[in-house]
Amino acid sequence: MLSIFQRGVFNSFGFENLKGDIFGGLTASVVSLPMALAFGVASGAGAVAGLYGAILVGLFAAIFGGTSTLISEPTGPMTVVMTAVLTTMMANYPDTGLAMAFTVVMIAGVFQILLGVLKLGKYITLMPYSVISGFMSGIGFILIILQIAPFLGQAPPSGGVIGTLTALPELWQQINPLETMIAGLSLALLFLIPKKWGKSLPPQLIVLVLGTVVCTFLFSDSSMRKIGEIPFGWPTLYLPTFTPDMLTTMILDGLVLGTLGCIDSLLTAVIADSLTRQEHKSDKELVGQGIGNLVSGVFGGLPGAGATMGTVVNIQAGGRTALSGIIRAIILLVVMIGAADLTKHIPLAVLAAIAIKVGFNILDWSFVKRVHRVSRTAALIMTGVLLLTVFFDLIVAVGLGVFIANILTIQRLSELQTRNVKVVGDSSGDIVVSPDEKDILDSSNGQVALVYLSGPMIFGVSKAIAREHNAIRDQNVVVLDLHDVPLIDTTVSLAIENTIKDLVDSEGLVFVVKPQSQAKASLERLGVFQLIPGTHLCDTRKEALEKAASAAKHMQKSDRFKQVGLGR
């Protein structure tokens, strides 16, 4: 067992901070309970699915993850996706739809494990903030919209966001005044409870307990909808269930869930790092999250990810190792066993209010309030991703947002890098040269053209190289200075190859100053340097200019000799 620990299979935990980890796990469990119940009911899978998700994802992510203080559980974004998956599967396959939905959770877990094993964790969060902001705000709006029907005392209509918005007139006409009043008061309390109270007791738990007590004693005879009996026992095992016509959809849904869980978890891990001054292991964290979601899917639990609120509360209460996450899962299991008779009295209206407040908190208010101060492009990307997320498709929103943002970024970088492609025929250009290099250029009387490239050369710069290529097409001697280029991609390498090849084909001479190691390796792999003699490959610009100037003079003498011979 010790060797397994030494190989780093498990997260870092021990008993040196036992008191702090116990308090951290206890406090995090208090925060998790109302959220797990609310998300379970909101998803349509039931409160028990939320509890199993909080216990199983939290436990296995704590054991196998790569962030010692991360608390993992069902989150708002994951619940939104799971709700859509469950609705689709149950509508198409009433008998096996539930098993198929949990199979999607398993697929998400396998996908996360694969990303971690392939060490792709560091790339997950490499996306523009405008895309993340629009996506998360869109998730917040979806969560709020989906809770409108429960807030008004009715079952959610089919059709997700569009279905709910379409059914608004009917929902309003059939409003349940009592449940709406309870939901409204609960939501008001969540906003009005002072933040300093929240440090000692989560507002969600206060509202959950208070709302349940009031409804139990004051409205016991009413027909108010409640969670009902939470069955406890060995959870139902769900074997992977597929159908040929839904296989592609299930895999895509699993990829969406897995990717969203990765983003959610790793962003929360960064927050945990900033609070604890530790450094998480991204790839290991993805493996832990994947194992947690895989097990949760098998046992009928909701998918989960690193939760910011639970993680921050855990750290503030003293949690410093993964033991706090394990303790939290154990406490939730004990509560689930011992308080099953109490949780059945919780009103659905109270849970709807809690879910709406979560959706409100997910909205990126700090960015929304300053969106008029950022660039128009960033504002448009954020707004576009938000609208696509709410009204169309989550994965399309993120994919399209990242694609457009990256294309615009590449364009801006290319425009900047284009300025680093310079050509001069003597020392009067804007390339900084040493006095010795200046003398060499001056002595060549414009017969030597110096082409200078600097900085990383990405594919957008190839147009600038082609433009300068046309400018030096008729030069007999060219020095191509690449010594300040650390990186060259394939497109630019081929553009440089074409420039050298055309000059050589027109009987010109090309001298190349070697680039830095990575760029040099890229050019060597394509065989670019084989187009010129080995003596034309130089280590310094001065060496290349000296050879070029000497070659230019020799060519001038040869031309004069030919002219004299013709005159005779």
Q: Is residue 388 part of a domain?
A: no
Residue with tokens 């906003």: 191
Looking at the structure, tell me whether residues 121 and 250 fall in a common domain: yes
What CA–CA distances, in Å, run from 116 to 6, 255, 282? Answer: 19, 14, 8
Looking at the structure, tell me whether residues 142 and 288 fall in a common domain: yes
pLDDT given for residue 548 in this prediction: 86
DSSP string covering 11-59? ----STTHHHHHHHHHHHHHHHHHHHHHHHHHHTS-HHHHHHHHHHHHH
Looking at the structure, tell me whether residues 245 and 145 fall in a common domain: yes
Looking at the structure, tell me whether residues 200 and 306 fall in a common domain: yes
Collapsing DSSP to helix, strand or coil, 423 comes out as strand
Q: Is residue 4 part of a domain?
A: no
| 18-43 vs 323-338: helix crossing angle, rounded to 10 | 50
CB of 212 closer than 8 Å to CB of 348? no
Looking at the structure, tell me whether residues 440 and 363 fall in a common domain: no
Looking at the structure, tell me whether residues 170 and 244 fall in a common domain: yes
Helices (H) and strands (E) counted in the chain, each on its own, are: 27, 7
Q: Work out whether strand 477-484 and strand 509-513 pair parallel, antiparallel, or are unpaired.
A: parallel
Looking at the structure, tell me whether residues 131 and 26 fall in a common domain: yes
Q: Is residue 394 part of a domain?
A: no
Q: Is residue 386 part of a domain?
A: no
Looking at the structure, tell me whether residues 471 and 556 fall in a common domain: yes
Collapsing DSSP to helix, strand or coil, 207 comes out as helix
Instruction: Quote the tokens at residue 108.
Output: 């998400």
Helical spans, DSSP H, in 152-301: 160-166, 168-173, 177-192, 195-198, 203-218, 247-276, 282-298
CATH at 503: 3.30.750.24
Distance CA 263, CA 269 (A): 10
Q: Is residue 88 part of a domain?
A: yes
Nearest Cα to Cα of residue 145 among 397, 358, 359, 386: 359
Looking at the structure, tell me whether residues 205 and 341 fall in a common domain: yes
CB of 542 closer than 8 Å to CB of 438? no
Give strand pairing partners of 513: 481, 538
Looking at the structure, tell me whether residues 136 and 279 fall in a common domain: yes
pLDDT digits (tens, 9 = 90+) for 342-385: 777 888 888 889 888 888 888 888 887 777 777 788 888 888 88
What CA–CA distances, in Å, run from 467 to 454, 457, 532? Answer: 16, 15, 22
Q: Is residue 555 part of a domain?
A: yes
Domain, as residue range, for 524: 419-567
Residues of the chain with pLDDT under 50: 1-7, 426-428, 560-568
Q: How many residues in the chain?
A: 568
Sequence-separated (6 or more) residues with CB below 8 Å from residue 381: 128, 130, 131, 134, 401, 404, 405
What's the domain count of the chain?
2
pLDDT given for residue 293 in this prediction: 97
Distance CA 170, CA 566 (A): 100
Q: Is residue 392 part of a domain?
A: no
Looking at the structure, tell me whether residues 425 and 361 fall in a common domain: no
Nearest Cα to Cα of residue 418 among 362, 457, 473, 386: 457
Last residue of a domain, one of 308, 342, 369: 369
Q: Is residue 150 part of a domain?
A: yes
Looking at the structure, tell me whether residues 138 and 210 fall in a common domain: yes
Give strand pairing partners of 484: 454
